[in-house]
Amino acid sequence: MRALAGAGASDLDDLVQLAAEQVFRSLPSFSGRSDLMTWIYAICYRVLLRNRRFYQRWRVRFELDDGSGLEISSDEVPASTSLELRERALRLHAALARLSDKYRTVVVLHDLEELPIKEIATIVRTGELTVRSRLRDGRKKLQKLLHEDAALAPSRGHHELTPT
């Protein structure tokens, strides 16, 4: 749910609770026509959309706080590299949070959760070609946001998430 809602979602606990309730309530109707994880993702996605539509006026912007869930082991990586990796991850999550739900969901499910296009189409209840176009457009928008972020802070230098 964190991946679908965005790392800065202040209502993440409520969303997880609502989705869990819906899963348990709907479990008897699970017919096995799709993978269980695909079915659960679909429920989470619908709960998120329903919640976002209802609370659209109070949408929370991404915040950089210790609750972001971005942990990097300092035992394996030097401190400067660890800090750089954390900063890049925070910028990526901030850019993802700025994408609309329809693009963020497809990009996260495909590129981060590594789900196939067919399962994503089932989750978001749309055709595979629509998922492919949303993935293409979402990646372009994400690349643009990351490029703008790098341009706003030139002292950070180049990172591999933005084009050269």
Q: Taking residues 117-132, what's their average pLDDT?
A: 93
pLDDT in tens, 75-109: 455 666 767 777 887 888 888 888 998 999 899 88
Output the average pLDDT for the chain. 76
Q: What is the mean pLDDT of residues 99-127?
A: 89
Q: Quick one: pLDDT at residue 1?
A: 65
Which contacts qualify for 37-44: CB closer than 8 Å, 24 or more apart?
A: 38/115, 38/119, 38/122, 38/123, 41/4, 41/109, 41/115, 41/119, 41/123, 42/122, 42/123, 42/124, 42/125, 43/19, 44/1, 44/4, 44/15, 44/19
Kindly state the tokens that stand for 5. Answer: 């809602």
Q: What is the structure's pLDDT at 126?
A: 93
The residue with greater pLDDT, 126 or 65, is: 126
Contact status, residue 133 vs residue 107, Cβ threshold 8 Å? no
What share of the chain has pLDDT > 70, as a percent? 68
DSSP for 21-83, written as a single string: HHHHHHGGG--SSS-HHHHHHHHHHHHHHHHHHHTGGGPPPP---GGG-----TTTS-HHHHH
User: Domains in the chain and their CATH numbers?
Assistant: 2-61+78-156 (1.10.10.10)
Q: How much is the pLDDT for 12?
A: 77
**CA 48 → CA 21, 56, 77, 146, distances in Å?**
13, 11, 36, 25
For residues 95 and 5, give the distance between their C-alpha atoms in angstroms, rounded to a whole number.
13
Worst-scoring range by mean pLDDT, 39-53, 59-73, 118-132, 139-153?
59-73
C-beta of residue 69 within 8 angstroms of C-beta of residue 6: no
Residue 140: pLDDT above 60?
yes
pLDDT tens string 4-45: 776 666 677 888 888 889 899 998 888 888 888 888 888 888
Mean pLDDT of 58-82: 48
